[in-house]
Structure 1
Amino acid sequence: MEKPYSNLKLAERGAIISILAYLLLSSVKLATGHLLHSSSLVADGFNNLSDIISNAALLIGIRLARQPADRDHKFGHWKIEDLASLVTSIIMFYVGFDVLRDTLQKIFSNETVSIDPLGAGVGVVSALVMLGVYFYNLRLAKRAKSKALKAAAKDNLSDVVTSLGTSIAIAASAFNYPIVDKIVAIIITFFILKTAYDIFMESSFSLSDGFDDSLLEDYEKAILKLPKIARVKYQRGRTYGSNIYLDVVLEMNPDLSVYESHAITEEVENLLKEEFGVFDIDVHVEPSSIPEDELIENVEKKLLTYEKRLYAKQEFDTLLADNYTLIDDTGHEHNKAELIEALANDQVQFQNFELESISQKTKLIRYELDGQIHTSLWRRHETWQKIFHQITNKTD
């Protein structure tokens, strides 16, 4: 249980590193962009400024998400991490559209700019810094299993691309191609908007309890490898932050006891936690459908056949339970090993064969044979076995 909380603590480190890197780069880019009158460098600086705000929101969200479950939040506060990502995307949308509007105004006003090629060096240095931050956060996101930090790492990568684009635009403007600066500025704003869109879709998907169906398919395949599970009837997954909560309905053999069924559900829970990292699993068990040959009319025919096979000394070991007991007409008890000597090895004709259903898996059989009344108790535990037989003399 402590692992998810320690993961969030680890993810905080990535958010702090990003904030420090963006704070440094945005200050340098905005100052240099205004000094050199570079709209693309200013746009990239605003991009980094929006990243400071978004990573600050992410940091706050991660810290709030670490709060333990309480009376009003039975499942904890994990979703605050997704909410912080959603707020971040909205901020990025605003900044992206604002920078796009400013760039378009400069294009239509045909404003000329004076570009110093030294500005290209700022973009290259920025790209190298953010490339290092990207790899750091990507590795940290995998360790912490943090979707929010992984999204932040993608944002870092987009900053690498946009910073390189800025350098290209500045260099082109220095060689009297100022339109390249405007075009790259537009491209940069679209990188901001694209990243904002991706973060928005991922966070809103999680907040609305969306879940990846392919994961459910993987879970089902793994579960069905366990014995005595007939079918995975239903699955419902949702995420709270980076933690997966899963509801599973399993169909099992109706002959299993409550203890056996519970033991299997624990196997399922351990499998999903260890192999897939599922945080919380709720397993519900239902009896699987009764096969057609287990319907009462078919069971009667089946048990009649089994009784005849026993008298013919067929399938003796499989049809009699190990704790089988026979009480003969004299009142003496016989066990399974002793019975084989007492059975006739010829065809028998049962009279007045009757079946009484004690439960779904316990049946009482009565019939007459050689002037005596025979009573058998059969029980099904995956297969039918006779556990008791009594012979009494028929009275007029």
Structure 2
Amino acid sequence: MGDKLKKHYGKIRNVLIFVLILNWTVALAKIFYGLLTHCQSMAADGFHSLSDGASNIAGLIGIHLASQPVDQDHPYGHKKYETFFSLVIAALLFVVAFNLVEKGITRIFYPVKPQIDFTSFVIMIITLLVNLWVMNYEHRKGKTLKSDILISDSMHTKADIFTSLSVIVTLVVIKMGYPILDPIATIFISLFIFHAGYNILKESSAVLCDTAAIQDNKKIEGIVLDVKGVKTCHKIRTRGRPDDIYIDLHVQVNPDMHVDNAHKICYAIEEALKKNIPEITDVVVHVEPKEKV
């Protein structure tokens, strides 16, 4: 199990390292040329991409901790560390957004005319295409590997796409003679960043606060009731991550049933649930005698 877990997180780590290199490459290009041409919205988009890189590093730390095997102090494993570090990504997004709002407001009152040229458009279009590819690649890998870090990071990159599009539009408008749009676009960009951070915060908090991991308890009940010997199933509770679900439930059986048979039913319930819902890690079954009518 330990080797399988390490291999799983090794795949996630490789994705993050690859994406980190791409993120910082496009970030440095936008920051350097944005500062060179006094285009605040372009530089702001670059700093947003730079925060993507910081998110990747936070993700790498998170999956390193999450890949550790079960120990005495962590009997449920370390997988929630990955979810916790998704909150770090959200926090980084909020910090970047606040910073951009501050810079945008300052530039409105103390304007500087950007120097937009053909290279500005080339850089923004190339980085936009890179971000599109990264978002799809990372989201696809996140779904395949059932990784909170990769999925939340792809949402971060999705915000980059919208901001890059708004910057390209802003560059066009500035070339038409409306430089005031530069700081306004910067503030507009921050709204996308806030939204991405909020979505990550919402999803990660749901896991950490033990929100029901499976919303449809009827599905679980149906699987359990198909097990021979089970009369009723109730008090179903689920929690955990999408790939690490814990279930506890109560079942009623014949009151005259021997404890050995009751144990076999518990085992059959666990096997049936794990077969139908592979993401389940553990099942706790509380057996009760069904009252005779």
TM-score, length-scaled by structure 1:
0.69
Equivalent residue runs for 1:345-384 within 5 Å: none
The aligned counterpart of 1:169 is: 170
Name the residue aligned to 1:200: 201
Q: What letter matches 2:245 in structure 1?
A: I
Separation in 1, partners of 2:211, 2:32: 43
Cα contact 1:86–1:200 (8 A) shared by 2: yes
Q: Over aligned residues, Cα RMSD in angstroms?
A: 2.0
**Structure 2 counterpart of 1:40, which letter?**
S
The secondary structure found in structure 2 opposite 1:178 is coil
Identify the residue that residue 98 of structure 2 maps to in structure 1: 97
Equivalent residue for 1:258? 259
- Equivalence for 1:181: 182
Q: 3-state DSSP class of the match of 2:232?
A: strand
Cα distance, 1:212–1:70 mapped onto 2, change above 3 Å? closer
* Aligned twin of 1:22: 23
For these two proteins, the number of residue pairs brought into alignment is: 291
Q: Deviation at 1:172?
A: 1.7
Contact 2:213 2:245 in 1 (8 A): no
Q: 1:277-356 maps to which residues of 2 (within 5 A)?
A: 277-291=279-293
| Cα distance in structure 2, aligned partners of 1:110 and 1:46 | 20
The question of whether the paired residues in 2 share the 8 Å contact of 1:113 and 1:178 is answered with yes
State whether residues 121 and 167 of structure 1, in contact with CA within 8 Å, keep that contact through their aligned partners in structure 2.
no
Residue type matched to 2:8 in 1? Answer: N
Structure 1 residue 90, shift from structure 2 partner: 1.2
Report if the CA contact (8 A) 1:46-1:99 is conserved. Answer: no
Task: Give yes or no for contact 1:117–1:174 (8 Å, CA) kept in 2.
Answer: no
The 8 Å contact of residues 58 and 81 in structure 1, kept in 2 or not, is answered as yes
Tell me: CA distance 1:18–1:200, structure 2 relative to 1, closer, same or farther (3 Å).
Answer: same
Secondary structure (helix, strand or coil) at the match of 1:74 reads coil
Identity %: 33
Work out the CA distance in 2 between the residues paired with 1:237 and 1:47. Answer: 37
Match of 1:67, SS state, is: coil
Q: In 1, distance between residues paired with 2:149 and 2:221?
A: 27
Q: Per the alignment, do residues 254 and 5 of structure 1 end up closer, same or farther by CA in structure 2, a change over 3 Å counting? A: farther
Structure 2 counterpart of 1:133: 134
Residue identity matched to 2:167:
T
Distance change in 2, residues 1:228/1:28 (3 Å):
same
Q: Which structure has the larger Rg?
A: 1
Pick which of 30-39 and 225-234 moved more: 225-234
Confirm or deny: 8 A CA contact 2:134 2:157 kept in the other structure. yes
Q: Distance in 2 between matches of 1:226 and 1:88?
A: 43
Shift of 1:254: 2.3
- Where 1:73 maps in the other structure, the secondary structure is coil
When normalised by structure 2's length, the TM-score is: 0.91
The CA deviation at 1:211 is 2.1
CA spacing shift, 1:67–1:110, aligned 2, 3 Å: same
Change (3 A) 1:4 1:283: farther
Tell me the CA shift for residue 163 of structure 1: 1.4
**Where does residue 249 of structure 2 map in the other structure?**
248
* CA shift in 2, pair 1:217/1:46, >3 Å: farther
Which structure features the higher share of helix residues?
Answer: 2
CA contact (8 A) 1:97 1:189 kept: yes
TM-fit CA distance, 1:232: 1.9
